[in-house]
Structure 1
Amino acid sequence: MRKPATLITGANGEMGQGLITALHEKNYKKIVAMDLNPLDDSITSYCSEEIIGNILDVDLIDQLNGEYEFDTIYHLAALLSTRAEFSPQSAHDVNVGGTMNLLNLALEQGRSQGKQIKFFFPSSIAVYGLKNLEEKEFAGAIKENSYRNPSTMYGCNKLYCEHLGNYYSNHYQRLGAEKYHSYIDFRSIRFPGIISSKTIPTAGTSDYIPEMLHSAAQGKPYSCFVRENTQIPFMTMPDAIGAIIQIMGVPRRNLSQSVYNIR
């Protein structure tokens, strides 16, 4: 008999650790945490199962499908922006191929359980792109669905996965012989840079801000590589986790779309 649970990939990342802690505080008892690395000791006891593995391992995904009944999947695992620029093929494999694997897992779970599986995907403001400073100044404040022309591999991956989530939720194999039934309730937030007081991020384009803050707190000098007048939106990790909890707690009928910006 399969065990009911919530699945979190990328569980040992800074967002994964924050999410697991928040769910624990809300009395979630059956969290299956998956990551390439062992979980931090601070969150191990909050999870019913720890799985060290790769989201590209289809045999492992099949094993999860056979052992558990997931009602919710938080797919946080990703290759981040800076690393993605140095290894675009790996970024595509992990960020797109891995997401496809998790969406297919959600699809099989929905079919076997006969209900929609909630699926959360953290997107990014990296999905936006303007050609140069002149175009940015001309554009001013842009609308949510304007200028989605990413100029980084990470942004391309995120935007494509937003579309994949919409496809799996609303259009999957609609030309098939069987009448289409949606088994995935896809929800996503386009996050700006995120600042955490507990961890220093790695491999992200906007890491310079938290690095500056952590250096200042430690009384260390920090040399920043961006212009003095550079502006970029940020939010704190607790606010980001709170936003995830909120969007996943809203009834589907109250959502007008699947992907939201947040400031």
Structure 2
Amino acid sequence: PSPQRCFHFHVQLDARCLSRFGQSALHRSCSSTAVVDQEPPKILITGGLGQLGRGLASRRLRARYGRSSVILTDILKPTAAVVKDGPYRFADILDFKLLQEMIVNERITWMFHFSALLSAVALALRVNIEGLHNVMELAKQYDLRLFVPSTIGAFGPTSPRNPTPDLTVQKPSTIYGVSKVHAELMGEYYHRKFGLDFRCLRLPGVISADTAPGGGTTDYAVHIFHEAIRNRAYKCYLREDTRLPMIYIDDCLRAMVEVMECDPRLLKQRVYNLQAISFTPAELAKEIRRHMSNFQITYEPDFRQQIADTWPQVLDDSRARADWGWKHLVDTPDLVELMLQYLSHHYEFNAGRVAN
């Protein structure tokens, strides 16, 4: 879908959430109690063309701090819509000097570091480890506020699964999870040793309608909606009873902004779990059938089942809720309604373009 369609849809969602849940959640949120900098931050986003970066820039940060205050970076060629939306620069996370020049020339004060690889072990080690070290050194050197997302994949088979607390054993089974544990520990070390303002959220599976589903373990919860609209059927690669934590994209983006805006004195730790909703494929399919009675789902578990069996079923995010007022707004019924509504419009719109 076009950026304009995506943007208007999410503006409507925000208004809907506020009308349904009222203003109380916002009054309790950290952003309403934070000591916000007098001068708006100048923000750099690495890996900006992924699932989180572009939405964070266009729907949250640029709307809040100004179009020119947020610079997206990536190694991909941007679309015309990306360039029109705001500043975009080529930046290889492994090129320390290029990043340094950009931080200095653009007077960057905040950085969101999204550049990461899920697999391809040799390259993932370089991007996820060396790239992170570059970012942390620059954040330390230039006194930046730094956000690095973590993941439920940072836990492993020896971690308690329901609920999974903030502080527990972490022995992940994937290279992505290993690199995220490394990022968490390095951020905490740089904070203790050098005073780096490091902030990190362990994200559940992120569900969004305006990015295509990948092949990740939690991506079934996006793919299922596309297949429901197109074929009224879905073949799931996880067992029907596989419970995993999830979050809708708007809640996820809001959480990242809230924790970055938060008064440092309210943050009692550097890394927080983030929980919104948890469901199984069978529960999600049942909710879809409330809107689409002829929807069918079958199950053929593959290698991703073994990964899912080592991950949390529910994250304990009580510390995030207590320390900086985190509260999700979109529950499972809302999620299903919104995803089906959006994707129905998307496929109807594209079908109309083809017909014309």
Scaled by the length of structure 1, the TM-score of the pair is: 0.82
Could you say what the CA RMSD is over the residues aligned between the two structures, in angstroms?
A: 1.9
What are structure 1's unaligned runs of at least 5 residues?
111-116, 173-181
2:152 corresponds to which residue?
125
| Aligned positions of 1:72-91 closer than 5 A | 72-80=110-118, 84=119, 87-91=120-124
1:98 corresponds to which residue?
131
Alpha-carbon deviation of 1:42?
3.5
Work out whether 1:54 is the aligned partner of 2:92. Answer: yes
Residues 67-104 of structure 1 deviation map (CA, whole Å, 9 limit, x = unaligned)? 23211000011112xxx1xx112111111111111111
| Aligned positions of 1:1-263 closer than 5 A | 5-21=42-58, 22-28=60-66, 29-47=68-86, 49-80=87-118, 84=119, 87-110=120-143, 117-131=144-158, 140-172=162-194, 182=195, 184-219=196-231, 221-263=233-275
Separation of aligned partners in 2, 1:189 and 1:146: 15
Contact 2:54 2:72 in 1 (8 A): no
| Higher mean C-alpha deviation, range 240-249 or range 25-34 | 25-34
**Which is richer in helix?**
2
2:8 corresponds to which residue?
none
Residues 1-41 of structure 1 deviation map (CA, whole Å, 9 limit, x = unaligned)? xxx83100011111011101111221333212110113344
Q: Secondary structure at the match of 1:7?
A: strand
Q: Secondary structure at the match of 2:254?
A: helix
Alignment CA distance shift 1:226-1:203 (3 Å): closer
Alpha-carbon deviation of 1:148?
1.3
Q: Which has the larger radius of gyration?
A: 2
Contact 1:11 1:34 in 2 (8 A): yes
Q: Secondary structure at the match of 2:213?
A: coil
Separation of aligned partners in 1, 2:47 and 2:78: 10
Alpha-carbon deviation of 1:45?
3.0
Amino acid at match of 2:98: L
Amino acid at match of 1:238: D
**Which is richer in strand?**
1
Residues 115-169 of structure 1 deviation map (CA, whole Å, 9 limit, x = unaligned)? xx210001001111115xxx86xx6433221131111111110011011111112
| Higher mean C-alpha deviation, range 8-17 or range 26-35 | 26-35
What are structure 2's unaligned runs of at least 5 residues?
1-40, 276-356
Scaled by the length of structure 2, the TM-score of the pair is: 0.62
| Higher mean C-alpha deviation, range 232-241 or range 210-219 | 210-219
After TM superposition, what 4+ stretches of structure 1 lie above 4 angstroms from structure 2? none
How many residue pairs match? The answer is: 233
